[in-house]
Structure 1
Amino acid sequence: MNYRTRIKKIQKHLSEKKQFPYLVASLVNIKYCTGFEGSYGYLLFFEDETVFISDSRYEEYALMVLPKNVHFMLQQKDFFKTLKALLKHKNINKIFLEEHSITLSQYRMFKEECKGVTINYGGDIINELRIVKDEDEIENIKKATQITDKCFYHILTLIKPGVSEWDIAIEIEYFYKKHGCLGTSFDTIVASGAGSSMPHYKTGTKKIRSGEPVLIDMGCIYKGYCSDITRTVFVKSIPESISTIYYVVKEAQQKAVDAVKAGLTTNKLDSIARDFIAAKGYGALFGHSLGHGVGLDVHEIPAVKQNGSVALKKGMVITVEPGIYVPKKAGVRIEDMVLVTSSGHEVLTKSTKELIIL
């Protein structure tokens, strides 16, 4: 990753908006800007320099990984006292905060320690830059999806009556770590039977039984970048009513995937799948949004939903994941990750979407 270039790009954006100094407290945004992956630190963009502040635990590591155009400053006592001294040294009495960057308690500490410093809303500049991935990011995401696809085919050999949901979830995490991943990109969902009707089911000790659907929503983190895929398979048999639902979801998902291209707005993409499902009589059973962005976070902007209107751009990576959920009976969801390209799109997740009965 060329972190020096990213710092320069952000400096340019902030200069155009006249938003110096700009405080970044989000660790994932700090990672995006600098490559720092520790659990504590703050990044400050000034007009004349960029400063990273952390404590003694990370001094050696930070000096090793920070790009050369970011200066390390060792925190004295606490961050807000260090910030106060730095602003005073630079004769600055204002600061811009990135959106969603600090907690209420941090805000109160800032106000108490830095009296006389005006706090300004700084928008969401870094998240807006993260929405379009560069070549290095896309390569890492592709590798994450390749590992996830391999994992899916591996666990198909393990799903059978008597095996618990946890058994499958644990095997998924083990597989990821054995293949060079940090771990899962979110808590793996293995939802069997009636549990599959809950979109964000909590995987448990329930044992899989014959005749049940098994909805698997899983993803890994490879070199910091996430994957996210969902498939629904069936054990021994499938009721005709659920088979019908499976093919409706499959066709709705494929129609939406086929439509992905630069310029299409997220709400229009959502409506392609949603309208098809509604036309088949299942509209009330598809309640969540169609998808979301994926990158350093498994859920990023843009949200692919009814009331969002973000135009897709080359380099965006999104999920397309319609579902139909029959309360207390069964649910079906199919999810792929899709890269927006100059010629349309590329489906990054390759696992089969054909109906599987194990």
Structure 2
Amino acid sequence: MRIVIVVGTRPTFIDLAPLIHNLKDRSELLIYNTSQHYDREMSDIFIEQLNIPEPYRDLESKSGTHAQQTSRIMVRCEEALIEDRPDIIIVKGDTNSALGAALAAAKLKIPIIHIEAGCRAFDRTLPEEINRVIITHITTLHFPPTMNCKNNLLREGIDEDDIGVIGHPVVDSINLLADKISNNIHKNEYYYVTIHRDFNTDNKDRLEHILSTLNEVAEDRDVIFAIHPRTKKKIEEYGFNKLLSNIIIKPPVDYITSLSLIKHAYAVITDSGGLTKESCILGTPLITLRPNTEWIETLQGYANQLAFADGNNILECIKRLDDHYEEAKESIRRLNIFGKVGISKHIVDN
């Protein structure tokens, strides 16, 4: 069987690596890299650390507006699929890469497998929400990461026979690198921060509020901020470098370093759905810099707090976490929503 699997962003390299390892000796596997993330720190380094084979094709979509990027991926993926004639295509998540590839495949009548299916934040202002909803309704076989995601699919009319096993392959990605996670980091002495969503970066007032708050927080506990290239560009454009005076700045970090920083942090402060998963698996409480999340199951017992939900803010979330820290740690340890090690093999077998 000839299978195309589509990567192209940091989360897809990470989450699909275990599937690639399980598929490469059981099928003719063609890896398409859309290059949606094309900096070495956002792509190549993950290929190396996760021992992913070199992609069969590079579609070189790179940056642009959502429409520009998605249309480039769709056109270039269609050309490649016509030439390669796969039996199925695997896409993951809610990226423009997943949407463009899925649309191209659907129009060519190639069966689509969707990993991380059924996630919903119930907010159609999010580009990711639009992507994931469209992908759902052109997909052949859905693999939801949690029971809540399966229920979302059922509510939208997806036949239960078209839904595969529940679980997330990121569990296997983390397990693959578990012995490489550093323990030479002072535990619980810093917040680990990432910001990349346009909800935060493209809103000047909101980004100023976030950075000024984090700069204030850094007076009491270290703040380690791994800056996404687009976020760095916006900070420079807005003239906000002065708001970073107390913050420890890092360029984008590799996956092993990121896992190490997550595991030993007092808490993670992020707008990333990927870091939400990884924080839950590694047992670190987090504060989400959004008014909603697709990982609704994490919003219990202070395990995860939404900084921009009605009546909330970053400082209130930090105070609440300080007051209930042991409860937060216990809540996140109990979550166990993404399945057990070995889920990637079960998905492939399914």
TM-score bracket for this pair, using the shorter chain length: 0.3 to 0.5
TM-score of the superposed pair, with normalisation by structure 1? 0.36
Structure whose residues are more often helix by fraction: 2
TM-score of the superposed pair, with normalisation by structure 2? 0.36
Structure whose residues are more often strand by fraction: 1
